[in-house]
Amino acid sequence: MSAIYLLRKISTKTPSRFHRSLFFSTFSKESKPDSSRTNSIRHLSSQRFVPSSIYRFPQSKILPNRKFSTSVETNLNDKSFERIHVQSGAILERIHKNEEEETVSKVNVGSEKVVREESEAEKEAWRILENAVVRYCGSPVGTVAANDPGDKMPLNYDQVFIRDFVPSALAFLLKGEGDIVRNFLLHTLQLQSWEKTVDCYSPGQGLMPASFKVRTVALDENTTEEVLDPDFGESAIGRVAPVDSGLWWIILLRAYGKITGDFSLQERIDVQTGIKLIMNLCLADGFDMFPTLLVTDGSCMIDRRMGIHGHPLEIQSLFYSALRCSREMLSVNDSSKNLVRAINNRLSALSFHIREYYWVDIKKINEIYRYKTEEYSTDATNKFNIYPEQIPPWLMDWIPEQGGYLLGNLQPAHMDFRFFTLGNFWSIVSSLATPKQNEAILNLIEAKWDDIIGNMPLKICYPALEYDDWRIITGSDPKNTPWSYHNSGSWPTLLWQFTLACMKMGRPELAEKALAVAEKRLLADRWPEYYDTRSGKFIGKQSRLYQTWTVAGFLTSKLLLANPEMASLLFWEEDYELLDICACGLRKSDRKKCSRVAAKTQILVR
Ligand code: GLC
């Protein structure tokens, strides 16, 4: 059966274009819409949300999850489950549901509760995470980016970043606390439809902010009110576009439903509209020739100039995941069927493009090394006119016999051969890459352990831009000097994504090994944002301490490893139906051949 038919019908009402007013009518106690459109969202305490306890999901609802999703829900087998728990060194025992214990973390696995001793680092991490929680009108709505008491210039690190909150949200969800995540999803949704302008220009309606802050403003001498103040890039350093925010929002929305079993949130009309606005923005026609999303530099976790404009892998893998999430969550009706069709077509075209053209391993590099150039024809081998001289000398030595990875970026006559960690991990998690490619990426990590993990997991990319490359590509950025920050610094927050990728591929021991490396230092080093040098030896030059997503990434990794069944709700298996969808309309008998038919077998067996 085609996955499209499995999508749920959940609403017959046509969603309104402005879910801001819907928000007020469905979510606030008082249904009076706020007509004032200022720079921030005003929220008087009298319009406070329904107390968060109302949204608390009953524990009994956590499992089992609904089975209507289009994704294959893999449960790791019992054997690997036992192995994870024994190898982690933590003391585990299975106890029956009713038994309670104060000083241990509890996670639900099937009908049993697994109780695990928390390490000192974990206990401290929870304390820091709880401390980082931001409240709005009394309810928790997110976590600040960093809480470094020694930081005299927090810049925007005192804000709630959408991307930074994802590991915090997962840690809370895996602990059974859903309110903060639900509140976050609804408040940021409210910000989405805000009228935003950057120097009198209005970015697209579905855009989600990079971050937001809760401000208290005086109304008069005696009254204050709390307002949510979003940053869509108009204050951000470099005025970078937060392209990944909306994609993360969709990914988190699905995760919330999967883990809590509370699917009512994603079924709400305003939430459905939010998904559609993001998808419409991503799927809008432009001049682009490729199914990949065309973005400016610094539009994701790497939010400074780093030569990742064009079609960076990180954005493509998040885009692919968000498309898969939307396909699962959107209700199919007359107003959404065209969008759902567009999502299916894009998923299929995007995975083909990435699998076929972004993949590099020793064999592919050898092919590129012998490429002919200036081929003018529809069946050119060197479709993007890549000059073999572009293969960087480091790569020839570095690429292992076993393993491979997805390129950082691909454009006409340009391949960025750097290894970008988040994009590669997220391609595994979402099945953007083929099963064999996924395996090969982890093989590469294992073979290049010292380069990618070293003294602190994980390098954000490899290798660093140095000398003229650094000068020309970063614009001589003193923060992104070689082997620092975004230019091949080591970011412990990436641990949770590595853990998820390893668990999906049945190799949790790799994640455990990396986690052990991190655990040795993070507590003593006071949870730095990033580390510097080739092997991640030093705390980063300008690194914040008590960085929330470092703390949350660590906790989420721990919780995922301790709870493989929950982890399996967060990744996707190969969807073979997607491979069959092709929108080009060419038939076998046509004179002009569909380029994908020729390539497909290659992709599947690779
Ligand atoms: C830096 C990082 C960005 C992160 C932000 C808040 O700007 O580059 O990815 O979201 O800090 O932690």
Centre of ligand 1 from the C-alpha of residue 407, in Å: 23
pTM over 0.85: no
Q: Answer yes or no: is pLDDT of 536 > 60.
A: yes
What does each C-alpha distance from 208 to 22, 187, 267, 368, 463 come to in angstroms?
17, 11, 20, 39, 31
- Residue-level pLDDT at 194: 75
pLDDT class for 291, splitting at 50, 70, 90? very high
Report which protein residue has its CA nearest ligand 1's atom 6. 145
Instruction: Say which range, 37-51, 178-192, 225-239, 355-369, has the weakest mean pLDDT.
Output: 37-51
What's the pLDDT tens digit per position in 506-520?
999 999 999 999 999
Asked if residues 161 and 145 have their Cβ atoms less than 8 Å apart, the reply is yes
Instruction: Say which range, 200-214, 381-395, 557-571, 574-588, has the weakest mean pLDDT.
Output: 574-588
- Residue-level pLDDT at 261: 98
User: Beta strand 211-218 with 160-161: parallel, antiparallel or unpaired?
Assistant: antiparallel
Number of H helices, E strands in the chain: 23, 17
Q: Burial, 322: exposed, middle or buried (Cβ in 10 Å; 0-12, 13-18, 19+)?
A: buried
485 lines ligand 1 (CB under 6 A): no
Report which protein residue has its CA nearest ligand 1's atom 11. 157
144 lines ligand 1 (CB under 6 A): no
159, 248, 303: which to mutate for ligand 1, most atoms within 8 A of CB? 303
What does each C-alpha distance from 429 to 142, 316, 441 come to in angstroms?
24, 13, 12
151, 164, 231: which to mutate for ligand 1, most atoms within 8 A of CB? 164
Separation of alpha carbons 123 and 301, rounded Å: 27
Q: Answer yes or no: is pLDDT of 4 > 50.
A: no
Asked if residues 11 and 272 have their Cβ atoms less than 8 Å apart, the reply is yes
Centre of ligand 1 from the C-alpha of residue 490, in Å: 13
Q: Burial, 397: exposed, middle or buried (Cβ in 10 Å; 0-12, 13-18, 19+)?
A: exposed
Separation of alpha carbons 400 and 421, rounded Å: 17
Centre of ligand 1 from the C-alpha of residue 154, in Å: 12
pLDDT > 90 in the chain, percent: 69
What's the pLDDT tens digit per position in 133-166?
999 999 999 999 999 888 888 888 999 999 999 9
519 lines ligand 1 (CB under 6 A): no
Q: How many Å from the N-terminal Cα to the C-terminal Cα in the chain?
A: 26
pLDDT > 70 in the chain, percent: 79
What's the pLDDT tens digit per position in 353-410?
999 999 999 999 999 999 999 999 888 999 999 999 999 999 999 999 999 999 999 9
